[in-house]
Structure 1
Amino acid sequence: MELNLIEFTLLIALVICLLIQLYYTLFVHVKLARYKIAEIDAEQREPISIIVCARNEAENLRENLPKLLSQNYDQFQVVVVNDRSWDGTKELLEEFSKQYANLKVVTVSEGGSFIAGKKFAATMGIKAAQYNWLVFTDADCVPASENWLSGMQKPVNRDIEIVLGYSPYTKKRSLLNVLIRFETFFTAVNYLSFALKGMPYMGVGRNMAYRKELFFRNKGFAAHMHVPSGDDDLFVNANATADNTIVQINRETHVWSEPKQTFLSYIRQKKRHIGAGKLYKPKHKFILSLQIVTQFLFYALFVALLCFKATQLIALGVLVLNIIIRSFVYPKLLYRLNYKELRWWFPFLDVLLVLFLVFNAILSIFVKKVSWK
């Protein structure tokens, strides 16, 4: 059956989108699927400062701070920055300070205008840190094991200045939770895989580490202090290189976090992330934009080709081929990154995520105001 010009053009566009998507799958993400996960290094080297920024996090700190303070590591401190909290955080931290000698509390008082939000608190914590190797997490996060710090410690290689960890969200019984966890998975696969490929472009502040001297040598957050978010990904984007960055995905080093419970709060969170992404290096913005655009176009073109009788079977064949090839990579990655129960829903979640990302991108055009807390 012969194809007319419109059918032929749409089909060629579909194939081009498929090839671009398979590049990300077979030449980037496969690196993480094949990555040999090392055992936790039992030898403890440099002392560590854990940095936690907290704004009205009394409940989370009461539950999670003891788990940070009791890590199986000989010499470390936990620096908690109380950023103008009014929920009893101050009193709670005073209580913990009496119990734990390795807890240091930094208080950001009311007064003045802290437009940079969390970045100001993080800077205060970094300045107060006693040790050069800094490990970052949040008040609502829980390390997967007491060996978390051993896995996130300074590597033997002196050139390494940044370690990118992984932080999954806990499972809840809702479609929103499934979407959040799959989006987190997709983001992690991207930044971890590109780091392994020699192009690190972001990290997550729930679980990452870097040298204190790296922070001050490159003037900290000065280049993007005007942006409310980006204390993690923008810092990595500006300072990470192929030679100074490694990844750590051993299950004992995962840091579990509580996901948003409402769609509105999740949208606000993603809005902050998009705002930071606009300041990525041009090459990083290009590769990420190309990935999302071609992924959306692939499904849009597939639907369009189903409207033509002559191209229905071909379009279905291309879709099935795409699913089969990608199924050799992503289910394995879902298992590696602690989301094994999502493996069977991969094709459906892939479409759902694309629709959400497009919706969020459009929404970001109209909603400008963002804040940390």
Structure 2
Amino acid sequence: MVCAHNEEENLRRLLPLLYEQNHPDYEIIIVDDRSYDGTYDFLLEEAAKNSKVKIVKVNEKPENFNGKKYALTLGIKAAKKENIILTDADCTPASNNWLTQMSSQLASPKTINLGFSYYEQQKGFLNTFIRFDTLWTAIQYLGMALVGKPYMGVGRNLAYTRSLFIENKGFTAHMKVMGGDDDLFVNQHTNKGNTAITLGEDTIVYSKPKTSWKLFFRQKIRHLAVGKHYKSGNKVILGLFSLSHIFFWLILGVQTGMQVELYFVIGSFFIKTLLLYLTFIIACKKLGVRFNLWSLIFLDIIFVFYYSIIGLKALFTKRVRWI
């Protein structure tokens, strides 16, 4: 299922890829969320040519309701199938087996399946940093899920059952929160017993990255601000992880400035570097993606400053802008 707001161009790229999915029985639900471009007319043409396409039209939303959550709710209620596979209009599945892989994991007692979404590789440092940040996020939420502590998912590649959504009244608990249609819903309902993870090259969904630092920062602040609504235990674990990341480089810098024994500083740096490279090598292999590892240490140092600033901004942000 896909929610679309003025996404005609992206849907023209996405729909042919969805038609080619190797799955015996599926429907493609596109929720046209108050589009004013050619999205609806294009969808009407596609629905006339392909019976799999089902259009849900949103002309207006109720007051005090988040637009995307309302659109998703209507789409899920209109679905005839039990398994709901979510992605965005600007995404592209990596293979024709994506739908089968994501849906096959949803069998009792598994009602949630977490997938991985990566950003398309482009030229420039911004794109490299965005993909680094995306890998870090995936290492955290998929790693936690693998050890039985799931806490979030990414709506660009996420699956859950219609029954789970309906029986728990969908997004009601956080309908007024901007964003969180993916991670807050998963955070609220996920547990060790009901959550599966699907990894591998065939299961990736690629998305278009932001092309300016301003848009990327705004997007990241929105994502981090949603984290304030996570369960308390999840916030503690994530907070400790972030602080340990920041304090390592801070303490190493202080030790260097205080001229602490050189062997201790070099040893700490060596261990940190080794663990960082091993983590990314294993993660890239498991996820089925490539990343230029030569720049990891530099990116990690930049990430500490970036995350400190953006994290504090998100913590004290009461209202966020949707992009």
Corresponding residue for residue 80 of structure 1: 30
Secondary structure of the 1:270 match is helix
Equivalent AA in structure 1 for residue 2 of structure 2: V
Question: How has the CA–CA distance of structure 1 residues 310 and 184 changed in structure 2, closer, same or farther, with 3 Å as cutoff?
Answer: closer
Map Cα deviations across residues 326-346 of structure 1 (whole Å, 9 max, x no partner). 333322313433443322222
The answer as to whether partners of 1:152 and 1:253 remain within 8 angstroms in 2 is: yes
Pick aligned residue for 1:284 from 234, 247, 261: 234
Q: Is the 8 A contact 2:225 2:317 kept in 1?
A: no
Do residues 263 (structure 1) and 213 (structure 2) align? yes
**Residue 231 of structure 1 corresponds to which residue in structure 2?**
181
Partner of 1:203: 153
Which residue of structure 1 aligns with residue 49 of structure 2?
A: 99
Q: Indicate the larger mover: 242-251 or 104-113.
A: 104-113
Question: Among 76, 96, 107, which residue is 1:126 paired with?
Answer: 76
Cα 1:341–1:365 change in 2 (3 A) is closer
Query: Corresponding residue for 1:221?
Result: 171
The 5 Å alignment of 1:46-85 reads 51-85=1-35
Question: Is the CA contact 1:201–1:237 (under 8 Å) kept in the aligned structure 2?
Answer: yes
Equivalent residue for 2:137, pick from 176, 187, 197: 187
Any idea what SS the aligned residue of 1:355 has? helix
Superposed CA offset, 1:230-270 (max 9, x none): 11101111111101111001211111111111111111211
Give the corresponding residue for 1:302: 252
Instruction: Please identify, of 185-194 and 347-356, the stretch whose mean Cα deviation from structure 2 is larger.
Output: 347-356
**SS where residue 341 of structure 1 aligns?**
coil
- Kindly state the Cα deviation for residue 369 of structure 1 after the two structures are TM-superposed: 2.8
Q: Does 2:313 match 1:363?
A: yes
SS at match of 2:229: coil
- State the 1:312 CA deviation: 4.2
The 4+ residue runs of structure 1 with deviation greater than 4 A are: none
User: 1:207 and 1:369 mapped to 2: Cα distance?
Assistant: 26
- Tell me the distance in 1 between the aligned counterparts of 2:260 and 2:31: 63
Residue deviations 1:53-86, cap 9 Å, x none? Answer: 1111111011112211221111100100111111
Cα deviations by residue, 1:82-114 (Å, 9 ceiling, x for unpaired): 111112111111111111101001111036536
The one-letter amino acid of 1:82's match is D
> Are 2:111 and 1:161 aligned?
yes
CA distance in 1, matches of 2:269, 2:289: 24
Cα 1:347–1:339, aligned 2, differ >3 Å: closer, same or farther?
farther
Where relative contact order (Cα < 8 A, 6+ residues apart) is larger, the structure is 1
Q: Which amino acid aligns with 1:151?
A: Q
Residue type at the aligned position of 1:266: F
CA distance in 2, matches of 1:133, 1:356: 38
Report the residue type matching 2:229 in the other structure: L
Q: How does 1:167-182 map to 2 (within 5 A)?
A: 167-182=117-132
On the 8 A contact 2:61/2:70 being kept in 1, the answer is no
Gap change, CA 1:368 and 1:201, over 3 Å in 2: same
**In structure 2, distance between residues paired with 1:194 and 1:366:** 26
Change (3 A) 1:266 1:310: closer
User: Which amino acid is the alignment partner of residue 168 of structure 2?
Assistant: N
TM-score for both structures, normalised by structure 1: 0.83
CA distance in 2 between counterparts of 1:202 and 1:187 reads 10
Cα RMSD after superposing both structures: 1.6
In our comparison, the structure showing a higher alpha carbon Rg is 1
Percent sequence identity is 39
What secondary structure does 2:117 align onto?
coil
The answer for unaligned runs of 5 or more in structure 2 is none
Q: How many residues align?
A: 323
- Cα distance in 1, alignment partners of residues 171 and 248 from structure 2: 38
Look up the equivalent residue of 2:173 and give its one-letter code: A
For structure 1, list consecutive stretches of 5 or more residues without a partner in the other structure: 1-50
Q: Which amino acid aligns with 1:246?
A: A
After TM superposition, the score normalised by the length of structure 2 is 0.95
Q: Give 1:137's match in structure 2, choosing from 63, 67, 87.
A: 87
